Structure 1
Amino acid sequence: MSPEKSIFSKIIDREIPATFIHEDEKCIVINDINPKARVHLLIIPKKPIATLFDLTPDDKDVMGHMMLLLPQIAQSQGLDGFKTQINTGESGGQEVFHIHIHLLGQ
């Protein structure tokens, strides 16, 4: 039996609607449904990786891609500065166990 798909995998597969800001072969960028700032986006890899603890050397490309995408997305939203956050594990505040980067800006 395969593990249950995360809400992010369901969004990637278009099973749940979301507002897509960006999509490419490696990741998606969507609006956070519970924003903590004027701009609050989630950068999510298409590959389902549960936490930072689950990264392998094979994931360097997708993680590097997402990091390089952050300033481009921020600028496209009119931001000249921003904050990023990755929650890891339940005690680290992670609610959806599919790695994602929060991009927050005023």
Structure 2
Amino acid sequence: MFGDFQSLKSNPDEHRIQPIEPSHLAPVLGRSVEEIQQKGLGAADFPSNGSLHIKLMDGSFVQFEHAFHVVNAQKFAIAVFTEHCGYHVFPFHEAEVSRIQREVLFVQAF
């Protein structure tokens, strides 16, 4: 196949990326920890005003629609929560996060 990914071991000196907890989501969403735990995330929690763009330290980038992010410097993590594509955790080191607003300039009508 493509190699034995189970044999890959992390560098013990590398910072571990830890999961984001509801207490980190509460201030971003403006909701209580209890409400997040009881109701989870809903469509209104995900912005529709542009794309979330994250540039990583090596110059690579990811871009998400209907997504918000949470930074946790203590855990060296940027977590991205998307409405339809789950959540993702990226390394914090030298990352740059921005929201790109779109302006439709032209649409070809058929």
Determine which structure has greater relative contact order: mean sequence separation of CA pairs < 8 Å that are 6+ residues apart, divided by chain length: 1
Identify, as 1 or 2, the structure richer in helix.
1
Which bracket does the TM-score occupy, shorter chain normalised? Answer: under 0.3
Structure with higher Rg: it is 2
Give the TM-score of the pair, scaled to structure 2.
Answer: 0.23
Higher share of residues assigned strand? 2
Q: Normalised by the size of structure 1, how large is the TM-score? A: 0.24
